[in-house]
Amino acid sequence: MENVEGIYQKNNPLAQPIKINGLQIKNRLVKSATQENMVDKKGIITQDYIDYYNVLSAGGVGLIITGHFYVNIHGRNNIGMAGADLDEQIPKLRQMTDIVHKNNTAIFAQLNHAGLKAVPENGIDKRVLAPSKSLWASAMTLEEIHETVENFGQAAARIKKARFDGIEIHAAHSYLIGQFLSKRMNRRKDKYGGSLSNRQRFCLEVYDSIRENVGKDFPVIIKLDSYSRSYASTPPLIKLITPKEALDTAKKLEDAGIDAIEVSCGLNATKGAMPYKLSITSSLRANGQNKTAYIAGFLLTPFDLVLNQTIWFQPHHNMKYIKLFKQKLNIPVLAGSCFRDPNYMKQVIKNQEADMICFARPLVYNPNFPNEILEGSDKQSGCINCNLCLFLLPSGKPLKCYFGKPPK
């Protein structure tokens, strides 16, 4: 006779396994990507990174998607971003994936290039590359575009050697691929700009390069915005990518052979408090600019009183478009929409509105949250979307929950 837990697991939609390109994943819960800030100067992960993923993979989540890895030095978002551009990064990554696998959890590496959002670093390279020229970035030449496409493929080969189970391409949140996809950010006049099909070219070439390097049986998924706007706060001022454009891109990727799509929603993915003041002043202090930090703190105080409020949090805000993607696509759809309520998560899977549930900040708050859900708890996550875990990354702080614990 089955025990109570076994019966519950059988009847729980979130506990059901799913396959992505032949890889069986034990349940429908996904740790979405969040930068860890636990690397050395060469982008090699540290023991803290390995320990973090040991705890996370023991927490019950079926699939882990790591924080983004840069594919070349131009694509490094900041000094805390992990790298996949050097062979010497592979051994430590293998240590980490081996531990994750011992905890019976699958793990994908997210590959990215920050483009316009890259931070030039002293002693490495001060150029910032983007689809189009701006005050602080150079427009990529055709040679640089082709080289970057190759870099994605080479990074993917390293990730496979490091014993990851799959790869996620980061084409969302206004990083380089998202910049190419956006008519507002991509003003090129050549074959990589103008029409939507031209703006999709870079994304599709990146996918082809990765697939060529890892083979047809290795899972490759992509993270796309269902829509993207200029600001995370309300009101959004400029549309960067529309839902119609995003769905068209998703369909072309499906036709090309992508194995699954994680649906996000641009900078609005950070729904909740926007502690810009603390983020900026902490970053300045980390660089020894204490006086500038004091002035910035004074000037930003009025904005902080409005933006740094958890009232901005809107759970499930992206479900309208996730349902649309699920209706139009035949491949698995991973839903990213600020999930906090286990009962709502179960409803989404049961009603076939998505195939997997993605969350990140609730797992920063409590890595054991998936186990609690799978064991029958209906208690919502205690994460209040203060966003300190995200907004302190640029200042070099490691990924962890800072709620009620001001950073030193």
CB-CB neighbours of 169 under 10 Å: 23
Q: What's residue 4's pLDDT?
A: 47
Does the bond joining 235 to the residue before it have cis omega, within 30 degrees of 0? yes
Q: In Å, what is the CA distance from 296 to each residue of 232, 275, 285? A: 20, 13, 11
pLDDT in tens, 164-206: 999 999 999 999 999 999 999 999 999 999 999 999 999 999 9
Alpha-carbon gap, residue 245 to 241, rounded angstroms: 7
pLDDT in tens, 115-174: 999 987 644 556 789 999 988 889 999 999 999 999 999 999 999 999 999 999 999 999
> Would you say 159 and 109 are in contact if contact means Cβ atoms under 8 Å apart?
yes
Helices 196-214 & 243-256, crossing angle to 10 degrees?
A: 30
pTM listed for this prediction: 0.89
Supply angle C-alpha 55, 60, 64, rounded to 5: 70
pLDDT in tens, 69-124: 999 999 999 889 999 999 999 999 999 999 999 999 999 999 999 999 998 764 45
Q: What's residue 230's pLDDT?
A: 59
Of 280, 279, 274, nearest to 385 by C-alpha is 274
Supply angle C-alpha 126, 130, 132, rounded to 5: 120
Alpha-carbon gap, residue 187 to 39, rounded angstroms: 35
pLDDT in tens, 337-347: 888 999 999 99
CB-CB neighbours of 297 under 10 Å: 17
CATH superfamily assigned to domain 4-272+314-386? Aldolase class I (3.20.20.70)
Q: What's residue 295's pLDDT?
A: 84
Alpha-carbon gap, residue 370 to 377, rounded angstroms: 9
